[in-house]
Structure 1
Amino acid sequence: MSNNPFKSLDSLKLSFNHIKIWYTAGMGFFTDAYDLLIIGYIIATIEYAHTYAGIIIPGFTEYLIGHNAAFWTGLLASSAIWTAIIGQLLFGYLGDRLGRKSVYGIEAMLLTLGAFLSALAWNLPALIAFRMLMGFGIGGDYPISSTIMSEYANVKDRGKLVSLVFANQGIGSIVAAVVGIVSALTLPPDIAWRVMAGIGAIPAATVIYLRRKVPETPRYSLLAKGNIEEAKKAAELLGTKLDVDKRVISKRLSISEFFAKYGLLLIGTAGTWFILDIAFYGTGTYSSAVLAPIFGSPFPATHVTLSLAEFQADLAKDLFLGAIPFLVGFPGYFTAVALMDKLGRKVIQLQGFVMMALIYGIVASIALTSGTKITGFIIPSTLAFAIYSLSYFFIDFGPNTTTFVIPAEVYPVRYRTTGHGISAASGKLGAAITTYLFPLLLASIGIKNILIMLAIVSIIGAVLTYFFVPEPKHKPLEEVAKEELEEEQNVQSQ
């Protein structure tokens, strides 16, 4: 494209208005991570209250300890993930069809309502239903927030700004751990889990108004709607003017044309996200299989009924141990933010997958097993834990961040949220499969063989990245996406 109408927007310096858009987009991802992680703490609180303190929470305990406990636990843990897939696909489609502005804020309303109602659920099926509503909002947040940030960002800082939106997940994870631990320590279980669920409504609620007030992005306004005045008004939000005086729109593509031009790219963005979430959710959800031989369980090995105070202390410690991987991974988000526009997305994603494969392979090779369980390591356990923990750092300083950033840059404006939505849904599909499959794999092949499997999967992720993922660093979105633009005289003749 010889004449870029967004040159002034692309060349802007980082400003307060960029940061305001980042906050508006990022609070959804804070809530996403909080709500998706807090469910593990909620399940533990209800189950362990019965197992170790003899406390029954009517409407909930009977589902999680009965004959069908595995079914209900799996359904509760994954319900928000399944509806997130639907939300990603639907909002991705609507974001391109109706515009980013027309649907922005609706997903935050769903997040807020779902989290708030979860805290008021009267039984487990109701809790599952409300979390499904929340998951729908979580899914919708992915394609819309990422695209709005990328389409408002300047070229020099675009990777940093979009990855900062995603880095709110790291903050949400930490807050979920703090809320979970403090609630478990200070409140009786029947109240603690409701507080954990309800607090997730607060951050999303703070941005509903801001999201509804964000103007349509300059790129969508001009290139998809052909509305010059709306595009200029949106650019003024960032204190600049667009250099355009005639309609310029992006060429529409048929489905066959889209797949002919972007099919391999879709394999790259969707395939790598699918693989990443297998590792991210697998090691995150079932990290206790590796951590148990190192730290042990805070609960007594023999069956005794603990007092409320003893149970609260042990539960808080158990939740803290489960949060360790996310605490270790936290700096990875912001390392990715700092280096995204320096190293580039592709380099960060490649090194992340390679390091994950290396770490999983090392931990598997030094693990001592009995049956399907790890009983120890051939090196000191603390050193083994330090090596294993690095996998969480390189997941976040790697494909967990870049798989979110890249799809917001590489697709043309008419198909950008759709491309991102399909890619994100592929990731959540990997997460959903993992959430169901890993308990069976733990029982049948054990954690050591799972780690070997994850090492192989990570290598496949690196290969897909190398061959199918482009580098968008320091390029205008229209150049990265190979946008085909048509000026006014050609538009009128159609």
Structure 2
Amino acid sequence: MLTSLGAPMSVAGLLIAAGYVGQVLGALVFGVLSERAGRKVAFVAASALFGALSVASALAWSVESLMTFRLLQGIGLGAEVPVAAAMFNEFVRAKARGLVVLVYESLFVWGILGATLIGALVLSVFPPEDAWRYLFFLGGVPLLTAVWAWFRLPESPRHLVHRGKLAEAERVVAGMEASARRGGRELAEPAEVAPAPAEPPTRFGELFSPGYRTRTLTLWVLWFTTFLPLAGFTTWMPALLIRVGGLSPSVASLLTGGIVVGNLAALYLAASTLDKLGRRFWFGVGYGLALAGSAGGVVALGLFGWQGWPVLFVCGALVLFGVNINAPIAYLYTAELYPTRMRAWATMVSSTMRNLASVVAPITIGLLLGAVTGVLWSFVLTTIVLVIGLTVVLRHGVETRQRKLEELAR
């Protein structure tokens, strides 16, 4: 790609960073939009922006134009995932919320597998200087998703109620009930409940008010300590297996693909029991697995001097299995801990910790790997980060399983 644009390899990092900067901007801008104009408008706009800028990237004529398009594309991506997570939470009943949202989140892992296979296919058919453009064209599919969503996706009833649009909220719920009855479901009569007090208007600084400050800081620690090892080991795992473990690129790629399959198995196990065992339990399991890998790496390399590929693979895989359990639950959990008036905003602001970690991790671990004992110190750093995350979440994390959003919002 860079060769075809006449650019040196030194700008590759800037191209990657541009996407992450865009994601931070997108999370903040669309966080405001989702609370003002609605979840549907934010989701459709973010999807359309991401798809359109992917097509524009395919037509880039210079590295500067590609960097600009990637920055703008990141704005769409930074908003699309968090607003969808918030919206899912507002539609799904409490008893099955964990299962449904995590199954939805698993589609991202399938997307990674699919993108890898499609990328390999395109690269085998087209020369490298053209293949990247076709891949960006394929990235324009969210444009079609945006068109479909505009006509078929209902607005969140909870958001409509918060905005005082009661009749529209009633129509959405009536449509959902009619769809369920057409599918053969028998619905119980609605229970009589006392009218909920009107929510105050959205105040974006309320994240740091006395009632929510601890939750906000706990979630930021959760996001950062989950995505720092996730980004670091995802980026550097193949290189470790090749450079340190002595494997060929094809074998390293195969083993890395095996880790992704293991991530899916762990995620579906968590999804099937999340509403019974709880969020805190699975955060503990996720951090525990990751710590077993990172601490095992410290012991294996630091005490015994083992540096073969089996040690790197097993320890790295455990780290990735653990943090890949925590990552999708973080989207679900964040949206559960805030009221409707700031649910999407809080989820998007928290997701900026993911982007920060995704920038810091590859750079930090890359610098560590430049030293003689760099692999060992990478495991040491990961262990420290995971211990901090586990301690904070177990100390301050609120259990949310099978609890209504209105109850959790306080």
Fold agreement, TM-score > 0.5: yes
Short-chain TM bin:
0.7 to 0.9
Deviation of 1:244 (Å): 7.7
Task: Report the AA paired with residue 237 of structure 2.
Answer: S
Q: How does 1:35-54 map to 2 (within 5 A)?
A: 46=1
Residues 228 and 245, structure 1, Cα contact 8 Å, conserved in 2: no
Task: Report the AA paired with residue 322 of structure 2.
Answer: F
Q: What do residues 124-180 of structure 1 show as CA deviations (whole Å, max 9, x unaligned)?
A: 222222211211111111331111111011111111222223212101110121122
1:58 is matched with 4
**Does structure 1 residue 96 correspond to structure 2 residue 35?**
yes
Secondary structure in 2 matching 1:471? coil
Match of 2:409 among 481, 488, 492: 481
1:382 is matched with 310
Match of 2:164 among 217, 223, 226: 226
Deviation of 1:227 (Å): 2.3
Q: How does 1:333-348 map to 2 (within 5 A)?
A: 333-348=267-282
Q: Compared with structure 1, are the counterparts of its residues 125 and 325 closer, same or farther at alpha carbon in structure 2 (3 Å cutoff)?
A: farther
1:259 is matched with 209
Deviation of 1:119 (Å): 1.9
- Structure 1 vs Structure 2 CA RMSD: 2.7
User: Structure 2 length as normaliser, TM-score?
Assistant: 0.88
**Does structure 1 residue 156 correspond to structure 2 residue 95?**
yes
| CA distance in structure 2 between the aligned counterparts of 1:436 and 1:197, rounded to whole angstroms | 25
1:283 is matched with 233
User: Structure 1 length as normaliser, TM-score?
Assistant: 0.74
Residues 84 and 428, structure 1, Cα contact 8 Å, conserved in 2: yes
Q: How does 1:184-223 map to 2 (within 5 A)?
A: 184-202=123-141, 204-213=142-151, 214-222=153-161
Secondary structure in 2 matching 1:287? helix
1:451 is matched with 379
Match of 2:364 among 437, 444, 447: 437
| CA distance in structure 2 between the aligned counterparts of 1:470 and 1:165, rounded to whole angstroms | 23
Which of 1 and 2 has greater Rg? 1
1:26 is matched with none
Match of 2:120 among 181, 204, 217: 181
% identity of equivalent residues: 23
Q: What do residues 360-394 of structure 1 show as CA deviations (whole Å, max 9, x unaligned)?
A: 1112322389xxxxxx9638643652343232222
Task: Report the AA paired with residue 79 of structure 1.
Answer: A
Q: Compared with structure 1, are the counterparts of its residues 206 and 157 closer, same or farther at alpha carbon in structure 2 (3 Å cutoff)?
A: farther
Q: What do residues 22-67 of structure 1 show as CA deviations (whole Å, max 9, x unaligned)?
A: xxxxxxxxxxxxxxxxxxxxxxxx57xxxxxxxxx3324x321xxx
**Does structure 1 residue 392 correspond to structure 2 residue 320?**
yes
Which ranges of structure 1 fall in alignment gaps of 5 or more residues? 1-45, 48-56, 299-315, 370-375, 483-494
Residues 220 and 413, structure 1, Cα contact 8 Å, conserved in 2: yes
| CA distance in structure 1 between the aligned counterparts of 2:64 and 2:145, rounded to whole angstroms | 29
1:272 is matched with 222
**Does structure 1 residue 122 correspond to structure 2 residue 56?**
no
| CA distance in structure 1 between the aligned counterparts of 2:50 and 2:225, rounded to whole angstroms | 26
Deviation of 1:277 (Å): 1.2
Secondary structure in 2 matching 1:206? helix
Task: Report the AA paired with residue 392 of structure 2.
Answer: L
| CA distance in structure 1 between the aligned counterparts of 2:123 and 2:363, rounded to whole angstroms | 26
**Does structure 1 residue 423 correspond to structure 2 residue 350?**
yes
Q: Compared with structure 1, are the counterparts of its residues 253 and 126 closer, same or farther at alpha carbon in structure 2 (3 Å cutoff)?
A: closer
Deviation of 1:116 (Å): 1.5
Q: Compared with structure 1, are the counterparts of its residues 355 and 218 closer, same or farther at alpha carbon in structure 2 (3 Å cutoff)?
A: same
Residues 241 and 309, structure 2, Cα contact 8 Å, conserved in 1: no
Secondary structure in 1 matching 2:60? coil
Match of 1:402 among 329, 339, 342: 329
| CA distance in structure 2 between the aligned counterparts of 1:384 and 1:285, rounded to whole angstroms | 14
Deviation of 1:278 (Å): 0.8
Residues 15 and 67, structure 2, Cα contact 8 Å, conserved in 1: yes
Q: What do residues 188-209 of structure 1 show as CA deviations (whole Å, max 9, x unaligned)?
A: 111222233322222x233212
Which ranges of structure 2 fall in alignment gaps of 5 or more residues? 178-186
Residues 291 and 385, structure 1, Cα contact 8 Å, conserved in 2: yes
Secondary structure in 1 matching 2:198? strand
Q: What do residues 417-440 of structure 1 show as CA deviations (whole Å, max 9, x unaligned)?
A: 111111111221111222333322
**Does structure 1 residue 363 correspond to structure 2 residue 314?**
no
Q: Compared with structure 1, are the counterparts of its residues 386 and 346 closer, same or farther at alpha carbon in structure 2 (3 Å cutoff)?
A: same
Q: Compared with structure 1, are the counterparts of its residues 192 and 324 closer, same or farther at alpha carbon in structure 2 (3 Å cutoff)?
A: farther
